[in-house]
Structure formats: structure tokens, C-alpha cells
Amino acid sequence: MSRGLNTKERVRAHSEFSKKYGLSDSTFPYIEDKTSVADGENIAEWWVQQKDRPDAIFCANDDVASGLTTVLRRAGFSIPGDLAVMGFDNSILAHLLDLTTIHYPIDQQAENSFLF
């Protein structure tokens, strides 16, 4: 598993959410250390090959989400009909491709980290 604090906290939050709402903890893998558009394209290819597909993927950032979404749309899949995809960062790619994303203002996070 990744050593990154953000990744660990996201996995923990997912587990707690699943437990709280009585959802089964999925057998789908946590795909880690993927941060590029090409990584998202590779995840799309993986998803297409699965017999039992996840119905949602939360990406580490909007680059991954854009690669994933673009490949699947070109292949005729519906986003979010066939797969819900969420990015992270609210980047220009999210705006241009109409992606669902989490707004994470890095400048505000930096400011918050230095408040005493």
C-alpha cells in the first residue's frame, strides 16, 4: 500500500463509510500510485476487461479521471451510467471535460497548514 498520508486516509474513510452503511468491502483492488492521463487510460482498459466491474472509481486527480473517462466514452460507455468517475483537484481538465471532481484549493490548504 502507498505510504502517502492522503492515500491512507482515503482508504480509511472508504472502509469506515462501508462499515457504517453496511456495504460489503469490495474485492476490487485499490489501484495506487497512478497520477497521469495515461494511467487513467490504462485503468479504463483494465475496467473493460473485468467480468465483475466496479460501478464507481474515485481517482487520485483529474488527470487520471480524464484519461479514464475519455477512453470509456470513446468505447461507447456512459459516464456516469456505466461507471461513476470522480476526480480530485477541480482542475481545468475537469471543467473542459465536465468531470465530477472534488474542489481542493491547494493555496488554501497551504495557508491552513501554517496557521497556529
Q: What pTM does this model have? A: 0.81
User: Percentage of the chain with pLDDT > 90?
Assistant: 59
State pLDDT tens for residues 39-62.
Answer: 999 999 999 999 999 999 999 899
Cell numbers at 55, concatenated: 460501478
- Give residue for cell 461513476: 84
Given a cut of 70, whether residue 115 has pLDDT beyond it is no
CA distance 53 to 102: 23
For residue 19, pLDDT over 80 is answered with yes
Name, in order, each residue with C-beta under 8 angstroms of 103's C-beta and a sequence gap of 6 or more: 90
